[in-house]
Amino acid sequence: MGTTTFSGPLQAGTVRGGASANVGQAVLQQTATIAFGHTSAATTGIILPAGSHIIDILFDVETVWNTGTSSDLMIGDSVDPDEFAGSTTDGDLHVAGQLRMSTTASQSASRADIGTSDVEIYATVTAVSTAASAGTGTLTIVYAQD
């Protein structure tokens, strides 16, 4: 499969110039598999380009976590494990299906512009009661590069 590299806005449509020009950012996504062993901040292999705006963070639970009561997921960077998302109100990793990660005001601000450097995404799973020995899912980060 070939790859294409670009940076900056794209133009699409018939309006080529002026205030109404059809110019905008491409919406991109990257995915990574997260497993029950991500009990401390672990890199996901996802690296977002500088200046990106995180539009959405989704997590598809494919194999439910088998902890005692619940397991929570946080998404962040190497400095702050819940910089971009993470909350006990997002749902439980004990239920198969898709979770849409909610945010606090601070997390929303961090997602609006990730900064002037590329950011490597980290995931942390916190098990409540007992440690998990099973559980997998797919993390999807949807973003626009400025």
Q: What is the pTM of this model?
A: 0.85
What pLDDT sits at residue 59?
92
What pLDDT sits at residue 89?
52
Residue 127 Cα distances to 36, 48, 55, 119, 138, angstroms: 9, 27, 27, 26, 18
Dihedral of the alpha carbons of 57, 5, 3, 119, in degrees to the nearest 10: -40
The answer to whether residues 124 and 78 touch, using CB atoms and an 8 Å cutoff, is no
User: 35 has which bridge partners?
Assistant: 136
**Per-run averaged pLDDT (10 residues), the chain, 146 residues:** 71 80 87 85 92 94 82 89 76 82 90 95 84 88 91
